[in-house]
Structure 1
Amino acid sequence: MYFDYSNKTKSMMSDVSSFMDEHVFSGERIFAEQHAAQEDPWDIPPILEELKSKAKAAGLWNLFLAHSKNGPGLTNLEYAPLCELMGRSWIGPEVFNCAAPDTGNMETLDLFGNAEQRERWLTPLLEGSIRSAFAMTEPAVASSDATNIATSIVRDGRDYVVNGRKWWSSGAGDKRCELLIVMGKTDPSAHRHLQQSMILIPRDTPGVTIVRPLPVFGYDHAPFGHWEVSFDNVRVPMSNILLGEGRGFEIAQGRLGPGRIHHAMRAIGYAERALDSMIARVKQRIAFGKPLAERGSIRENIAWSRIEIEQARLLVLKAAHMMDTVGNKAARSEIAMIKVIAPHMAQRVFDRAIQAHGGAGVSDDFGLAHQWSMSRSMRIFDGPDEVHLEAIARLELARETALWSA
């Protein structure tokens, strides 16, 4: 299968790449300097909003919304290389208003929100004037099985009352975050996949408590971060329910397919940057009389990294193509495959890059240790490897059974 990018995509790739070179990569240094100078590490450095304004003015905005009038009309396949380019920078996705969890939340509201919900929440998210969080994972249960979710959503008159505790809600502590999309149970007695619902909760609602930031391998990821959040008798109007009671799993399937492919695309982008860093390093460093680039083990690491990046990219493009042509359900095996292979690939590439940098690799000087931690945690936070591998195997076994029965 061969994927040739459309002329439209090639033109946008050139625009995004130029913007990254001209503004974003240099903006990383300014972001770090401004952040270090702030009294409160959870304040947003001014450079980020400046870059967002420039991207919006350049028309490089909300590129992720496939098949939507609220985006530029790109398909998943057309968006894939753009997402990869943005993923080469840790601030890149937000600069273009294409950062998680806002992307998934905007897709959710675009697909499943009513007119009032879209006007109240989707419009400012599309404008980039607010941010949002998604509250699903819970500390008290194995959330890899979403039917375990215990947060309660109980109807009381014309309101719902929400009680529960969530964690790993990315961006919930961001001072710009105004909306939490929360998954909980409205009917524990219903069929196991019809018990759950999603509800919109403004972050300033009484009873919502931002408990603490959760570090990843020691990184707090300020000023963004991942947070534990408690909901104690949080009362919101019935109109805040998304799509209707018992529709939570249906919404999740619509939300998680594109979200997972976006993570995989970005992983390829930052793996490419790690490979670039490794190549530059080994060309410059001399050990035992010759450049590291002339060492066989280094050359093998470079070759394997290139092979694995290309393999992952092709599988991501296939998944994107299938999502566009036959739908997310038919592409569920490919989506699960890229969810497994992309972070594994990125983790290996970063590990090799760290090794090539020696002591500098495990420091903060090159960002490799930080990105390694993200690629490792990606194997958990978007659904653990084991869940996706089980889904792939189940589909393969069913396919083989059907072939033998034919």
Structure 2
Amino acid sequence: MLTKGSRYIPFLTAGLLLAGQMALADEWIAEGQLGFGARYSDNPINRPDDSNPQSTAGTTGSASVEFERQVDNKSYSLRPRVTRNWHPDRELKDAEHTNLYLNGGAGISYERSNWNVTFRVSDRGILTSEQEDSADFLRVDDTRQELSVSPSATWHMTQKDQLTVATSFSDTDFDNEFNTRFDFKSSSISVFYNRIINARHSIGITALVNQYRSEALNNPTDPVMLENDTDGKSISVNYAYQWSETTRLTLSVGEQSSDLSSSSVNQGAGIEIFNNNSTFESTQYNLAITNETEQGTWNFGAARSVQPSSTGTPAEKWQLSGNYEHSITPSLTGHIKVMGYRQEATGSLLSAVRGETKFIRMDLELSWRVSRRTSLVWEYTFRRRNPESTDFEPGLATSATSNELAFGARYKFGI
């Protein structure tokens, strides 16, 4: 289980901080940031709107460090981060979480090839991971532990032709056994060929196969286990266009097919209670536009994809996102982020049981740099989750809305 392994993140982080102190003579670069602030939320644990949610004030804190090293043709990076929220109200103690992250990677470059590996380890509260997976709003005291490793290799066959082979392995667990979330594992391998047509245009093709495995206990005292196995494949055409010196557009369109098998097994007797097989096919796309200038940056994205999720099977997800950051004055910066998605479980069995979830989040931030290293930050966050009525949770699938205001300070430092 990943749960035990993720508990080592604080020790890894402390070790990395010490390593950063010792590694300065060995060509490491280290930069960090500390943050602390106060916040007010009218619905801190995302209770349904019709349940008279409780508002409260609280505090937040964060610390992060980025270690980077470049030696000849080799590169390394490590990025530990921790965030914490506090609620003075004892009734909301279950909603307090210490979120731990450790990301890293290494790479080596040759004249005709590049070899890379990245990893990600995290231990987060459910409300922190809501942007990636709709999960559900039951048991907000639950935590999500995740481990993923992604190696890849790219060959430059000619000046205009590239071939990339990439693999990915991930394991996601939830602390609480009694909930409607599924622990799951996933793996994939993809082959991507890209052809540079000229300075502005490139086109390519990607083929991918993946596996997804999940299981969940209906009840801690019940020996019946619900298992889900999925084997999928997809192929897509990719196009990139350098619109101008500051603007770039990428587009990917393709088809995917997934074979799903859901079964219920009595673990004690070893007897299969039922088995359900189905096939799910859909069109996938991903559109991204980015713009970067000295005054600010913005980007827009639209995507339809099928990805692993805690719903028990891969979930089909439609997502729109936007991001705009602008330097109003040399000391004052504004930042707007908007993201919304609709997520639905695939397969004939769980799509009827779990239904679909709609989620939207908007973040507004104003940062005022009062010194070279210190900034004061004002933030506003709006969230709304709208789970559609399902066969399994007809009385629980109600909308939840929250508004949050925060004020704090950030301090950047070097090691």
Alignment TM-score > 0.5, same fold: no
Which protein has greater RCO, CA pairs closer than 8 Å, 6+ apart? 1
TM-score, scaled relative to structure 2 = 0.24
Rg: which structure is higher?
2
